[in-house]
Structure 1
């Protein structure tokens, strides 16, 4: 991992500029190079390698597949997602639940929009929308792990809450822990005109998951827009209407 020595930079990436994967059951938009949409000039920002905005139809999902040496954080915006993995972990993730999977030495998992098969009750046709984010771990070859914890809506309303972190500074406040001591994910749900201050760090990735907001020095951001900040944190972000934002604070780069 390296520390930033770059000049301050504010790089706005618009929603429509993202590559996409669209098949019968999945509509996935990629902020970074992903899968077949390989772009060597767009592989990461700071420690963040993947920021996928996924919509999965009911009864479908990602079949069992492998991961290795990656910290994977999932944040659901609508519906519910069922996780099962080769370590015996099983969970249903819905809005307000933070989830982390440490792939470590190797793990197999599936993610599906079929919660009725786990929880019982009738089937439904509601899609699940989620943002899945990958950051590199501090060490390769750690033991695979899993964690999910609820974040009360009151912790997110009108302010930033620490969703996931491996930083000592957030040890008491992070809902879930990740195996990287240089990174933290924050989230906020903002009403019209509510304002937060973007964390000040060498690398920051701000993603507007819902709604619209104005970022000081960058202007209007619409749903799906992202901003990559390099040595340029501390700006005020104000919601235009109801908005939900995800912000990675990173003190090193991959």
Structure 2
């Protein structure tokens, strides 16, 4: 019997504009989905690599997602504006804000809630919406014990460059801010400064998301806030900005079902 062959995707760059995303809007939530999510299903747009969810959410003050379950998913939340209160069934609670890396491993089952902290844990009430990007990747092993981790990385981001924020890859041991239970994936974040470009890692699957501002990407051109680029068997492109901008880049060395 011959050895199984690894899958090598055909080199490809696919641009997805912010305005083309699937949308969920209710009184307290403005959510834009890069992939099929909830009631929105498109069989041709379910994931890229190991990334199943890339939701760009704006939640009104005093509102949010009530307690709900998750299972067998690595969930990374990145706040770009305001602050978000997290509480879960394994005893964790805290406030997530810009510059704080947060990961929740759903494992064999967890309940949690996420709300805009307009009531303030300290100080006066406010009326500031919270905007955050929530990303889900599949874990290596199902049924693990659920877990939670958050780390402040504001200082690293201010130095510029591409910062490994969440990773399960061996090459990021001791480097990434938080660890995820997926050895083939890593999330990098960069706060771009004028005149200081970054270089996209090389990988079989890459997902570049412009969280804030406008950037220029080699082989792609201009990208605006909310735009995304899905790359297969690619990488090495330079990204730069002439203003302050922020990009989220998933580096993935496997795909769902591989």
TM-score bracket for the superposition, by shorter chain length: over 0.9
2:102 aligned with 1:92? no
Name the SS for the 1:249 alignment partner: strand
Deviation string 1:9-40 (CA, Å, 9 cap, x unpaired) is 00000001101101100000000000011111
2:56 aligned with 1:53? yes
Partners of 1:61 and 1:208 in 2: CA distance: 24
2:19 to 4, 16, 19: 16
1:143 Cα deviation from its structure 2 partner? 0.3
Partners of 2:210 and 2:91 in 1: CA distance: 33
Name the SS for the 2:142 alignment partner: coil
Normalised to the residue count of structure 2, the TM-score between the two structures is: 0.95
2:79 to 76, 82, 96: 76
Stretches of structure 1 that go unaligned for 5 or more consecutive residues are none
1:33 to 36, 39, 45: 36
Partners of 1:173 and 1:241 in 2: CA distance: 27
Partners of 1:68 and 1:3 in 2: CA distance: 28
* Conservation of the 8 A alpha-carbon contact between 1:3 and 1:253: no
Partners of 1:175 and 1:194 in 2: CA distance: 22
Name the SS for the 1:246 alignment partner: strand
Normalised to the residue count of structure 1, the TM-score between the two structures is: 0.96
Where does 1:225-244 land on structure 2 (aligned, <5 Å)? Answer: 225-244=227-246
Partners of 1:75 and 1:14 in 2: CA distance: 20
Partners of 2:129 and 2:139 in 1: CA distance: 31
Partners of 1:54 and 1:155 in 2: CA distance: 22
Name the SS for the 2:143 alignment partner: coil
Where does 1:164-183 land on structure 2 (aligned, <5 Å)? Answer: 164-183=166-185
Partners of 2:14 and 2:196 in 1: CA distance: 23
> What do you get for the CA RMSD once the two structures are aligned?
1.3
Alignment coverage as a number of residue pairs: 252
Name the SS for the 2:44 alignment partner: coil
Name the SS for the 2:171 alignment partner: helix
* Conservation of the 8 A alpha-carbon contact between 2:157 and 2:191: no
Name the SS for the 2:209 alignment partner: strand
Where does 1:145-160 land on structure 2 (aligned, <5 Å)? Answer: 145-160=147-162
* Conservation of the 8 A alpha-carbon contact between 2:118 and 2:128: no
Deviation string 1:67-89 (CA, Å, 9 cap, x unpaired) is 00000000000100000001011
2:224 aligned with 1:195? no
1:4 Cα deviation from its structure 2 partner? 3.9
Partners of 1:99 and 1:160 in 2: CA distance: 17
Instruction: Describe the shift of the 1:131–1:60 C-alpha distance in structure 2 as closer, same or farther (beyond 3 A).
Output: same
1:193 Cα deviation from its structure 2 partner? 3.3
Partners of 1:210 and 1:157 in 2: CA distance: 17
**Which 4+ stretches in 1 moved above 4 angstroms?**
none
* Conservation of the 8 A alpha-carbon contact between 1:60 and 1:112: yes
